[in-house]
Amino acid sequence: MAKAKKYRCLNFGNCDKAGKKEQFEIPEGGELKCPECGSEMIQEVKASNTMMIAIIVAAVVAIAVAAFALTRGSDNEEAPAQEPVVEEVVEEAPATDQAVDSTATAEAARQQAIADSIAAAEAEALAKAREDSVKAAEEAAKAKGNTPAAPSNYLTNARCQYGLYTGPAVNGKPGGGLGTVKVQGSHSIDLRNARKETIDVNSGDIILNAKFSDGRLVSGLVKFANGQARQFNAGV
């Protein structure tokens, strides 16, 4: 029986399995395509070593407990009986609601940061696949002796408010889908919410899954130069 490997689809926006981050199996030698949308933009899911580490840790703890029990048993046989010691029990003050809320907020922020980093990696892979597809079409045209014409509904490194935009276009402007912005200079993205929040971006940062409406950036995922990431929806 052929061994199967697990994969995920990266065709976000066009495939339900990609949107739900569902995994599927493809036997070795099988056609590397998503069974839902037929896209070749798939990624192998590597097996995690978490379970093996947990088993090793559990085994080490069990050995340590057994050794401690044997030592205590030996000490109890040799040592004379002692009067029981009555220890004073000091009750700890219960955690305040504020401390609990602070811990929950910190954990939520940590989980969101992890989710944003994973989403940034997936979005970057998808953006690379889109650019490679456009380049492949251009190379194919050159190979046939034709002069590749830039599609009217796609822009490559076109100047926009925050830097250079690559992706779908409407009437020569960013729009009609998700693109990528390579930030140049320093800018503040107005999130247009009640808290009047902004996101500061600088040269070296990248805005993935950038969505424009009427020439205005309305959503995206900022991958900062330091590796951190943050999703945003302007006006929400």
pLDDT of residue 45: 86
pLDDT of residue 139: 79
pLDDT of residue 131: 78
pLDDT of residue 143: 84
Cβ–Cβ under 8 Å, residues 122 and 7: no
Q: Enter the pTM of the model.
A: 0.49
Nearest-angstrom CA–CA distance, 19 and 12: 6
Digit-by-digit pLDDT tens for the chain (236 residues) are 567 889 999 988 889 988 889 999 998 888 889 999 989 889 988 765 445 555 555 665 566 666 666 666 555 555 455 555 555 655 655 556 777 778 888 888 888 888 888 988 888 887 888 778 767 877 777 788 776 555 669 999 999 999 999 999 998 899 988 999 999 999 999 998 888 899 999 999 999 999 999 889 999 999 999 999 999 998 75
pLDDT of residue 49: 47
- Element counts in the chain: helices (H) and strands (E): 3, 12
pLDDT of residue 198: 94
Give the phi and the psi of residue 13 in degrees, each rounded to 5.
90, -15
The residues, ordered by sequence, that sit 6+ positions from 181 with a Cβ below 8 Å of its Cβ are 160, 162, 163, 164, 165, 166, 206, 207, 210, 217, 220
Q: Is the dihedral of CA 21, 23, 29, 33 positive or negative?
A: negative
A 10 A CB-CB count for 138 gives 17
Nearest-angstrom CA–CA distance, 5 and 21: 16
The residues, ordered by sequence, that sit 6+ positions from 23 with a Cβ below 8 Å of its Cβ are 6, 7, 8, 45
Nearest-angstrom CA–CA distance, 209 and 181: 9
